[in-house]
Structure 1
């Protein structure tokens, strides 16, 4: 597949089970992440100390709207940092942001909400901690699993189905 512009993103249509190119929000910064927020595609980007979260409004028209703009410099208790390298979404309304500082200072993990409210930070001392971000997260399944099914009356001593054959 050829991309039409450097700002296109590849998306997977779960209905037709096909990949296609889609126009991005057009506001791409140094660090860009794609998330799911409120059951919609969201694009999060950073430019210096500003984080913008754009949400897809219309998939067919490929229309995006700016949902949140967070100014990290407005957080008075935040240590100085050089750049943001990683971000993760928590609970649909909170962000974890990995901030890099000058070489003599420890990096830190910032915790804030999507309205820019400072919730805290943790210093990450070099050689003591490792921080890894992943785009995967746990989600409750609506599919019944055999080992979660209710046992019938008197079935307390019965082997669970995943032990059969051992």
Structure 2
């Protein structure tokens, strides 16, 4: 995942009398960097109502950057109403096996297409019909949203922050041409998407349904081919350099790439694969990024008896790395399971009457403001953020 630049701890000005500017007896270094920076985002917002001094302290950009970097990166869970029930879609974040609602959206056909630095790219419309999709960018923490009507007909592949300019940009693909890749800058959304060159091999490969992994300033995807057999040492990982904005390819493990996804594990690129019945998951780690050397970390047998057999075909799977541990998330129907690498069931929750699926996107909350929201079509609270 990309992240906002980590600020240097600025020296906070003192009042004329030598006391702190926020009215507290605590030193600024403790009050700002050890207390405010550690608060949940809602509590930090409430601090702005205490006084003008607290509002200035709790709204400073360097504090908000530090606060963002302290936030965990949480996997997102989709929760849909069943046919015949309420027509709404709920985006939730999974924090320590606890599901926390993020946003409640009206309609069945809404999905999170990309995420970066607390921003979520949402698409609403009929599944598989990009020309009918309504695309929006939002920040659930600040409850801001803006619509992007100029992106109809495009498929979003990733959202990233361009290091040289600080702009947030979208990597897009034209829906009916796999080799037609484009870049769209949110800060200059009046300018049409700019086309970039893509490797010729992209014509016969398809992107997996997973979200890209941000590592070393690059976005990584697993690619697969339908018509050609799996070749050993094939370069089935597409890499996009977010600074140079150019593509290259990397080798993947010798696995069936069409049943594989990527994840990030403590600064290393990881890949997990599964069998047809989604009963066994194998986890690979790239030990040497420069030389593209992979090793098998473990094989995990999922607790199949815990999963109702009637809905096995509706499972979604994701491997996440949090707090030093690798965890497997499995969703099927209204059931959500968390499994460790030994195949032990750590936690489970059931939400009868609803369908759960794993978004494969992450949310790292941020209260940092972005100028492009003021010029985009859309209003604060346009959707119901929780």
Following TM superposition, by how much is the alpha carbon of 1:83 offset from its aligned partner in structure 2, in angstroms? 4.7
Q: Is the 8 A contact 1:31 1:84 kept in 2?
A: no
The two structures have a TM-score, normalised by structure 1, of 0.63
Paired residues in the alignment total 135
Following TM superposition, by how much is the alpha carbon of 1:135 offset from its aligned partner in structure 2, in angstroms? 2.9
Which position in structure 1 is the counterpart of 2:263?
A: 35
The two structures have a TM-score, normalised by structure 2, of 0.30
Which position in structure 2 is the counterpart of 1:122?
A: 349
Match of 2:360 among 121, 130, 135: 135
Structure 1 unaligned segments of length 5 or more: list them: 100-105, 147-166
C-alpha distance in 2, partners of 1:90/1:112?
12
C-alpha distance in 1, partners of 2:255/2:313?
18
Distance 1:28 1:107, change over 3 A: farther
Structure number with the higher helix fraction is 2
Which position in structure 1 is the counterpart of 2:328?
A: 95
Distance 1:121 1:56, change over 3 A: same
Match of 1:112 among 315, 339, 354: 339
User: Matched residue of 1:55: which SS?
Assistant: strand
Following TM superposition, by how much is the alpha carbon of 1:16 offset from its aligned partner in structure 2, in angstroms? 5.0
Q: Does 1:2 align with 2:200?
A: yes
Note the 1:11-160 alignment, pairs <5 A: 11-13=239-241, 16-28=244-256, 31-47=259-275, 48=277, 49-72=279-302, 75=303, 78-79=306-307, 81=309, 82-83=312-313, 85-88=315-318, 89=320, 91=322, 92-99=325-332, 108-123=335-350, 125=352, 128-139=353-364, 145=368
Structure 2 unaligned segments of length 5 or more: list them: 1-198, 206-223, 226-233, 370-386
Q: Higher relative contact order at CA 8 Å, sep ≥6: structure 1 or structure 2?
A: 2
C-alpha distance in 1, partners of 2:267/2:245?
18
